[in-house]
Structures are given as C-alpha cells and as structure tokens.
Amino acid sequence: MLILGIESSCDDTAVALVDCSPEGCFVVRESAVSQIDLHKKYGGVVPELAGRAHAEKIVPLIEEVLKNQPRPDVIAVTAGPGLITGLIVGVEAARTLSMVWNVPIVAVNHIWGHSHSVEIQTDRDPDFHRDDNTVTTIEYPALALIVSGGHTELILMNSANEYKKIGATRDDAAGECFDKVAKLLELEYPGGPKISELAKTGRTDAIDFPRPMLKDDNLEFSFSGLKTAALYWLRDNKLAGTVIASDRRERGNLWPTVMGLLRSFTPRNDKPSVNDFCASFEQAIVDVLVGKTLKAAKLYNPKTIILGGGVAANEKLRETLAHESQSIGHELLIPNLKYCMDNAAMIAVAGYYQAQKKEFTDWRILNADPNWEIE
Ligand code: KG4
Ligand code: ZN
C-alpha cells in the first residue's frame, strides 16, 4: 500500500511517500521544510507566520515527493492536535487531492504518528540508513512515552491502531519546559538541544531542582513548577546566566557568542556554572520522565516500550530510559534521531494501520481538530 503522508501541525511542513506492507514501511521519498529560522527571533512558534509558511511550501513539497511516482493508494494527513493555522493547510491539501484523485483519506492523530516513528524504514533511500540497519517491530501491548514541545503523554497501545492515554501533563510539556528555561538563559529557540549540549559538561547534582509529581501515585506530569524553580534560581543567583544576558543585550549576538562565553567561563568558589545549571535541570526532567514511564511499565507490563517526539532526541533521556527499561526486563525502541522530530513518514505509517481497518474520512467532512485528544 502506497501512502502519501502529510504533516503540518507545528513548525515543520513535511510530505512523505511510504510503501507499507506486512514486511514493513519503507520511505520511497520524503521532503520537509523547517520553520525554525522563521520563528526563532520570537522565541517560539508564531501561529500566523506558521500558517503562511505551510501554505507556501505544501504544494511544492507534494510535487517534489510525487514526481515520477505512481498515485498513492491512501492519503494520511495529521488532522490534530496542533496549531489550527498549520493543520488546515495539510488537511485542505489532502481534501483537494482526495477529491481530484478519488483516493481515500485517513485522518491521523499526531501522537499516533510519534508512537509509530520507530517503525520507519529507509533502507531503500540511498541517502539515509538506520543506525543499526535492523527492522523494528512493535510487540503489543506497547507503552509509548511521547515527549515534544507540545506533548508529554504516556500512551498504551493494545494493537497498532488502538491507543489509550494513561498519563499526560497537567500544564507545560517537557519540551516546552526545556524551551522556556532556555529562553531565560537567552538561548535560541528551540532551546532543548542547546540545554542538553551545555549539560554534557555540567554537574547534574549542582542544583537541587524539584522533580514535580514524581512520587505521586499516578501517571500525571507537571513541568510548570520546575520552570518557575529555574526562574527563581536564576533570579537569586548571579552566575553565568547573567553574563549571557548582558552580553546578548550589548552585542545583540546569539548562539555562537553564548557558546564562546560558556566555554571560556570558569565558575568561582565552585558555584554552579551555566553548564551545571543545564545539567541539573535536564536531570530533573529526565528523572521525572523515566520514573513515570517505569511506573506505567510496572502497572501495564507492556511487551515493548517506545520513546518518541522531539525530546526523544535528548541523549540523556535515551540512555537513561534504555538502561532503566532493560533493568526491569523491557526493551526500549527509540526512533532514529531524524524521526524523533515531526515528520510525514510517521503519519503515513500510523495511517497504514488505520487504512487496513478502512478507517477513512470522506473529504467532504474531514476537519482539522487542533484539540484532538487521545482518550
Ligand atoms: O516533536 P517536535 O519536533 O515538535 C513538536 O511536536 O513539539 O519536538 C520539538 C521539541 C522542542 O521543544 C525541542 O526543544 C525539543 O523537542 N528537543 C529537545 C532536544 N531536541 C529537541 N529537548 C531536549 N533535548 C534535546 N536534545
Ligand atoms: Zn510532534
């Protein structure tokens, strides 16, 4: 089954043609445009700008991916959750193609996509190979921890197209917390990768940040208190954070300068450096994510644990969760780095499983739903 995947729920416009069969899902061709450069001067995604940029790119990307390719059997499009300004662009493109080609549409939940991103295979793509060259199969029931800028959710999958939300954040998503605290340090958006880069040379026990809700007897998350704790710490401690702020104001310079300063910065009196701050903060987030996932694994005893979403690119999280999962007898599946981020191949794969059950939505009634929650 040849599936055209379309993703435009946040700040990536992505299109992929994926060939799925019981042997696996292979990317035939894919193309994407990131809007990070557009949004970074605002410190976050600006919905109006995002919508316009998606609208500019969607048709050229579809043309590029489908050039000299046969017409797909199914169109899989992210219908929610996400920014309405972005979602409608992908959904309207899918509706138009469905009407013109008479090809059915599967409306895909963005979180379903992240949950299936470990299955994307690229062996037929000469430019890209899986790190380990293995075929990844999810065994059910599976437990997925999906962590990104917009989501922190624990999903239980009883089969490839049955999803149940068993835990979620009550306020900020983990990636959002990374990005907001990075903003306090005047690091460029998205700040998660920059914090984790700085954290590599820091002390994880330098600052005792809270681990919100870790000890609570539930699978809920909350990260706004951790963000506030980071804010208060920076307010009360005049360390490298202040150096960054004044330097940024004086020179209007961005990441390269910050990196230069941090490398040359030597903490006095053994007080925490920015690197220590980042390492301690990252450790607090990782402890909570891993702790809650293990709690869920003990409760539901899944055959596979999956990590997905942009924050799954975080090395400390990947390593810690892999190690801890193994210690309680569970294998962890992690997508290739490229497919941790938003992409259209994962939407096509999730769409494949819905299409097998003929879960199609007529183009006449398909709608984008920015608040589409998994129940
Ligand atoms: O899934 P994604 O591409 O888009 C959303 O659906 O949000 O995730 C982007 C998020 C951002 O918050 C970014 O800071 C975070 O993933 N992120 C990271 C890392 N790489 C990306 N957070 C922590 N460490 C990283 N290495
Ligand atoms: Zn995402």
Instruction: Tell whether 150 is in a known binding site.
Output: yes
Atom of ligand 1 nearest to the CA of 341: 3
Query: Which residues neighbour 188 within 8 Å (Cβ) at sequence distance 6 or greater?
Result: 40, 182, 194, 254, 255
**Alpha-carbon Rg for the chain in angstroms:** 21
Distance 326 CA to ligand 2 centre (A): 26
Query: Which residues neighbour 216 within 8 Å (Cβ) at sequence distance 6 or greater?
Result: none
| Residue owning the nearest CA to atom 16 of ligand 1 | 310
80 close to 9: Cβ distance less than 8 angstroms: yes
Closest ligand to C-alpha of residue 192 is 1
What is the helix, strand, coil percentage profile of the chain, to 5? 45, 20, 35
Ligand 1 is surrounded, with C-beta below 6 A, by: 10, 148-150, 175, 178-179, 190-193, 196, 309-311, 313-314, 341-342
Q: How far apart are CA 112 and CA 161, in angstroms?
A: 8
Instruction: Tell whether 110 is in a known binding site.
Output: yes
In the prediction, which pLDDT does 238 show? Answer: 65
Comparing CA positions, the residue from 302, 324, 368 lying closest to residue 155 is: 302
Instruction: Tell whether 127 is in a known binding site.
Output: no
Amino acid letter at 220?
E
The domain locations on the chain are: 2-134+336-356, 166-333
- CB count within 10 Å of CB 340 equals 24
Q: Which has more pLDDT, 52 or 235?
A: 52
| Residue owning the nearest CA to atom 7 of ligand 1 | 149
Closest ligand to C-alpha of residue 188 is 1
Amino acid letter at 295?
K
Domains 2-134+336-356 and 166-333 share a fold: yes
Q: Give residue-wise pLDDT tens across range 197-233.
A: 999 999 999 999 999 999 999 999 999 999 999 999 9
In the prediction, which pLDDT does 43 show? Answer: 85
- Domain 2-134+336-356 architecture: 2-Layer Sandwich (3.30)
Instruction: Tell whether 12 is in a known binding site.
Output: no
Q: Give residue-wise pLDDT tens across range 162-206.
A: 999 999 999 999 999 999 999 999 899 999 999 999 999 999 999
Amino acid letter at 191?
G
Q: Residue 332 burial (CB < 10 Å; 0-12/13-18/19+)?
A: buried
Q: How far apart are CA 296 and CA 150, in angstroms?
A: 21
Confidence of residue 122 (pLDDT cuts 50, 70, 90): confident
166-333: CATH superfamily: ATPase, nucleotide binding domain (3.30.420.40)
